[in-house]
Amino acid sequence: MRKNRSREHLTILLEFCATPAQTKSVQAAIQCGGIRAAARHLGCHDTAVLRNIERAEYNAAKRGYAPDYDATKPVPDGQQLKGLSTYYNAKGELSGQWVKSMPDMDRQREIMREAAKAMAEGLPKLKPISGPKHTDNDLLNLYVLTDYHLGMYSWHEETGEDWDLSIAEQLMRDWIDTAIALSPPAEVGVFAQLGDLLHFDGMDAVTPQSRHLLDADTRFQKIVRVAIKTIRYCIEQLRRKHKHVHIIMADANHDPASSVWLREWLSVMYQDEPRVTVDRSADTYYCHEHGKVSLFFHHGHKRKPSDIDDVFAGKFREVFGRTKYSYAHMGHLHHIEMKETNLMVVEQHRTLAAKDAYASRGGWLAGRDAPVITYHRQYGQVNRVTVTPEMLKT
């Protein structure tokens, strides 16, 4: 723990404050000349101010600013310290330093979120259109699409199935058309894209965290173009089917940054259409309420089906408390798993996408489908339609 917190140190620390509470505590310590005086000024205990300052110092150390350890050259915003090698001469004086950095994925997602929000402000807004005349006001259709992996390449001689960008684009269009045709005329349609819509998240065809090489079909710009085109097609079809459409673009491990710009883009595009709502939450857990029914969503990269029910109940305790029937929906592992706990029914879904070489060689051979699940606001789940790729070939 740092013992000497000078005014100069605290002033520099302001750059690394991550919350309003941290900023308020550091500013008060600068203004009042110390932690105890700052606590009296703010009307709180000394430890509250100290804790906020220490958290700011922790943030600073992650970026490479820790003067007690001769670290005074912070890395750029969006990066974090990976390694620090400091050299001292025989007198114990600093003689050289080697600073290594790596991407700070949490901070880069935050930066991407703000950038996407700013860019989306200039997008054209879609005009409202007339909705269907006759729908069942008690029903909600949930369209589940997960792990679609736009941009992945699969060769049938290696994996048993072909998959590329053009196949994926056509299959998504056929799926939404068939799903809409086979599902009842519900008043509400929820489009739940549960993550990994894009196979990779930037110019390099690698996973964002571990940097594992991926089988890629094409360039990232083409993937983005197809993603925008097909998602918009799905939503436009749903606007004609339902009086209200709710959109979820879930955070996931393959495309965490892309899920940010997708949410921001859609929210701006449909901001003048009162029949379309977009969940803009920056969290990785999502919720939608329909009468006595609560629906929860998470990709599955942070929590497993076996231990996620209490997370949903805790994060959305008011919704959970108001509703009688609760259902959680997840993706990530590409195969079916369903269990009923004391709190809710938890379901892990398959994907429509083909297997890649990694899954084929590993022996993960789950089937392919994407369902439409219908919920009644008084009685919970009342219907299910399962659409497979084979159905779409006829």
The one-character DSSP state at 354 is P
Alpha carbon distances (Å) from 172 to 53, 143, 147, 227, 229: 50, 12, 12, 10, 11
Residue 334 lies in a domain: yes
Which pLDDT score, from 0 to 100, does residue 103 have?
Answer: 62
Task: Quick: pLDDT tens for 346-379.
Answer: 999 999 999 999 899 999 999 999 999 999 999 9
The mean pLDDT value for 323-340 works out to 97
Q: Which domain holds residue 286?
A: 106-393
Task: Quick: pLDDT tens for 280-297.
Answer: 999 999 999 999 999 999
Q: What angle do CA 152, 116, 300 make, to 5 degrees?
A: 50
Task: Quick: pLDDT tens for 170-196.
Answer: 999 999 999 999 999 999 999 999 999
Read off the tokens for 357.
Answer: 């070489």
Q: Are residues 90 and 121 in the same domain?
A: no
Q: Are residues 292 and 318 in the same domain?
A: yes
User: Is residue 24 classed as helix, strand or coil in its secondary structure?
Assistant: helix
Tell me which long-range contacts 66-74 makes (C-beta under 8 A, separation of at least 24). 67/9, 68/2, 70/94, 70/97, 71/99, 73/97, 73/99, 74/15, 74/16
Give yes or no for residue 1 having a pLDDT over 50. Answer: no
Contacts (Cβ under 8 Å, ≥6 apart) of 229: 169
CB contact at 8 A, 32 and 38: yes
Among candidate residues 83, 103, 123, the one where a domain is terminated: 103
Nearest one of 190, 168, 123 to 373, comparing CA atoms = 190
State how many domains the chain has: 2
Give yes or no for residue 12 having a pLDDT over 60. Answer: yes
Q: Are residues 330 and 205 in the same domain?
A: yes
Q: Are residues 184 and 54 in the same domain?
A: no
Question: Is beta strand 337-340 parallel, antiparallel or unpaired with respect to 345-348?
Answer: antiparallel
Residue 1 lies in a domain: no
Which pLDDT score, from 0 to 100, does residue 108 have?
Answer: 59
The mean pLDDT value for 220-247 works out to 94
| Residue 50 parent element (H or E) | helix 46-63
Among candidate residues 103, 123, 143, the one where a domain is terminated: 103
